[in-house]
Structure 1
Amino acid sequence: MAAALLRSSSRLVIAALLCILLSSAVGVLRGATALGINYGQVGNNLPSPPQVVQLLSSLRIGKVRIYDVNPQVMSAFANTGIELVVTVPDDLVPSMAASSGQALQWVTASVRPYFPATRVTGIAVGNEVFTGDDAQLKASLVPAMRNLHAALAQLGMDPYVRVSTANSLAVLASSYPPSQGVFTQDAAGYMAQLLRFLAETNAPFWINAYPYFAYKDDPTRVSLDYALSNPAHVGAVDPYTRLQYTSMLYAQVDAVTFAAARLGYGNVPVHVSETGWPSKGDPNESGATLENARAYNRNLLLRQFAGEGTPLRPKLRLEVYLFALFNENMKPGPASERNYGLYQPDGSMVYNVGLVQQATSAASLSLATSPASRTDVRKDFGGLCLFTSFTFLLITQAFRL
């Protein structure tokens, strides 16, 4: 009897959370693309920022995240219309928390000179702070974000630039099934402060989510098809909500949404600030292959083009920043860390995600320029490089793979 009451109570809680979450997804934007890419620069052989901008423009990728405020990069993005998320490094966070003047000085020196020609739309403060070991940094993060937002308001930039922070999925104590998503005890106190700030400023919750790690850590029990988001895979059904998940990434996002709802912030949108799959790894890194990387990113692109939302918020296309644009040869750690890129530094594709170059038409979906601009990618980053268009036939073939 007690167990039955507990299950009934749990379902009632889930039902209440669903009502809150689904109602917040009404009136969503369908037209604009939600696909972005991370442009890392930890390499000594990468192309120049202007060449990178030409490449991104030819792919018609409209959102980019960088990990600093490099003046050359900031200048290169001027007058391109590409939305740019910039980053405040961890070491500057405590001083910005302690002094509103420091936050204002940083915005004035690092962002304001390039704005609005460079379309900065977001500031990521720190990176995966709440899963680190620095207690002072954790305590400083939200105060620093508040000071940065106040600085933007003082300069009249707050309607255009959102302040947030990228979180590791490790902020969750539980992520499966998604409806049981809950923050860790250590993170929960900080998360309440963070979510309150995000709700007040209409900013998204950013999560770095990598199904690759779940598969690598337990390849005998974790379904590779589920981790790769293969659309033909049956997936898993949440026993409490009865929602069906064919993508681990989308399940992870909904788990974060449920965790936020348990703290009273189910209306804060969850965006994916990083996700990807390495094309190469060390011998002990299960699943780090070119074939899996191509499948993961192809499946993600197909879901993006279809305007797909998560099962919890099906009408809200999930905003995703793919990691990463280039392989970065100076990144520390295992071999996988240096092999997340879609491109080699010389401009050649590491792999083709399944979309072929062909003539564009009004009926096709395109991420690239017209055929007239095609050139050798190794010689001209402004040429047609990866994604031009794909037809219904190509989509059908991809779904059959």
Structure 2
Amino acid sequence: MDLTNFFNYGSLLLIAPCLLPVMVGSIGVNYGQIADNLPPPEDVVPLVKSIGATQVKLYDADPRVLGAFANTGIEFMVGLGNEYLDKMRDPAKAQAWVKQNVQSHLPATKITSIFVGNEVLTLNDSSLSDNLLPAMQSVHAALVNLGLDKQVTVTTTHSLAILQTSYPPSAGSFRVDLIDRLCQTLGFHQKTGSPFLINAYPYFAYKANPTQIPLDFVLFQPNQGVTDPETNLHYDNMLYAQIDAVYSALASLGYSKLPVHISETGWPSKGDEDEAGATPENAKKYNGNLIKLMSGKTGTPMRPDSDLNIYIFALFNENLKPGPTSERNYGLFKPDGTAAYSLGIRGINVVAGGSSGNAVTTPSYPTGSSTDYLSISSATKRYGHVVLMIAPLLLLKTLV
């Protein structure tokens, strides 16, 4: 069995055995709105608080949402979709966008970050890639001009398909064809103090190889794990191994101090017949263990003292998303505000009966709305260009 495929395919998430309920790092949640039956934003506030989330990631800068969360103390990451990269190269347009979509909500709504573009470098679209860094620079310059750069950072999100090698974690490296563009954005991160964001779905790995992947290893359940032969560090879950592979890849380019945040990760509670593992029980284990991990004072084996910042995908099941059934069933909540499944964690009040009752609204996407995340489960989109490294079979026998 070649577990390296699984690391590269499905990568990271954050979860581990339950520790004491002392919050370290930050729990975040992705608030998508590709649906026609979601509760109004003001009814979403208590749902976010009920799972202990302190951060929310939007795929746009929806003023209804930002207004509803004013004076709650919850931090927001707002998005500028790929379709806006060309426009954002223009400093005047970037400044107008920041004034309208960020400055106007401060300080009541705690906007702390803007992500410019979603998984651009692995889309094989040179027009997007060419515009990414200039767009990030223009948005950052707008923040500087408005005196907001000390409180709002600028970043972008990446698919794990940017990795060429992920096993062993100590040998993690980026795709050779992406290094020039990556180094440009990494230099921007280092200069401006913004984090490196990764979207990761171990579910894809299991779905692709359900008869070979140890489910316990993916869901952060007890298992024997593997040991990195170069560092002797032990890994008992796919997430930690993949995160450390990203850290190694960054270090190989001279950016060992950049923080890595997980901007998307999740598990569907329902899927089609060919979507193995998409069940409420597995979703409960995945996201429940994720939240438990965030309650522990631990990082990865390579970075034990680093805080973990993770955004769960997603807040709601979204009925208008295209693709397989799983795409519409990543939510912690159903549109009526009731739990899609119980997380089974003390102190987390995700139970039947949300604050919104059956009140629903049809989203009217604002000018800044983005639908870049319409499909999250395309293995071709995310992982089609990953070069796999064969791991020593003797090392992997412990997981068979």
CA distance in 1, matches of 2:327, 2:199: 14
Change (3 A) 1:57 1:380: farther
- Counterpart check, 1:259 vs 2:249: yes
- Per mean C-alpha deviation after superposition, the further-off stretch among 57-66 and 120-129 is 57-66
Which of residues 344, 361, 370 in structure 2 aligns to 1:354?
344
Partner of 2:325: 335
CA distance in 2, matches of 1:138, 1:352: 41
CA distance in 1, matches of 2:50, 2:284: 20
Q: For residue 96 of structure 2, what is the amino acid of its counterpart?
A: Q
Gaps of 5+ in 2: 1-21, 359-400
CA distance in 1, matches of 2:327, 2:352: 30
Q: For residue 354 of structure 2, what is the amino acid of its counterpart?
A: V
CA distance in 2, matches of 1:35, 1:303: 10
Alignment map for 1:193-342 (pairs within 5 Å): 193-230=184-221, 232-342=222-332
Gaps of 5+ in 1: 1-29, 357-365, 382-401
Alignment map for 1:2-401 (pairs within 5 Å): 33-97=25-89, 99-230=90-221, 232-356=222-346, 366-367=347-348, 376-377=353-354
Change (3 A) 1:144 1:378: closer
CA distance in 2, matches of 1:379, 1:212: 30
**1:50 alignment partner, SS class:** helix
TM-superposed CA distance for 1:33, in Å, is 4.2
Q: For residue 124 of structure 2, what is the amino acid of its counterpart?
A: D
Instruction: Spell out, residue by residue over 1:379-399, the C-alpha distance to the aligned partner (whole angstroms, 9 max, x if none).
Output: 569xxxxxxxxxxxxxxxxxx
Q: For residue 247 of structure 2, what is the amino acid of its counterpart?
A: T
- Per mean C-alpha deviation after superposition, the further-off stretch among 40-49 and 88-97 is 88-97
Report the structure number with the largest CA radius of gyration: 1
**1:189 alignment partner, SS class:** helix
**1:65 alignment partner, SS class:** strand
**2:115 alignment partner, SS class:** strand
Q: Could you tell me the TM-score, scaled by structure 2's length?
A: 0.81
**1:273 alignment partner, SS class:** strand
CA distance in 2, matches of 1:116, 1:145: 22
Instruction: Spell out, residue by residue over 1:267-318, the C-alpha distance to the aligned partner (whole angstroms, 9 max, x if none).
Output: 1010000001111111111211111111111111111111321111111121
TM-superposed CA distance for 1:244, in Å, is 0.8
TM-superposed CA distance for 1:55, in Å, is 1.9
Q: Contact 1:227–1:247 at 8 Å: present in 2 too?
A: yes
Q: Contact 2:269–2:281 at 8 Å: present in 1 too?
A: yes
Instruction: Spell out, residue by residue over 1:107-155, the C-alpha distance to the aligned partner (whole angstroms, 9 max, x if none).
Output: 0111111111110011011111111021011111111111111110111
**What root-mean-square deviation, in Å, do the aligned CA atoms of Structure 1 and Structure 2 show?**
1.9
Q: Higher relative contact order by CA 8 Å / sep ≥ 6: 1 or 2?
A: 2
Change (3 A) 1:32 1:79: farther
CA distance in 1, matches of 2:67, 2:73: 13
Higher helix share: 1
**1:254 alignment partner, SS class:** helix
**1:157 alignment partner, SS class:** coil
CA distance in 2, matches of 1:57, 1:217: 34
Q: Could you tell me the TM-score, scaled by structure 1's length?
A: 0.81
Of all paired residues, the percent bearing the same amino acid is 49
CA distance in 1, matches of 2:145, 2:266: 37
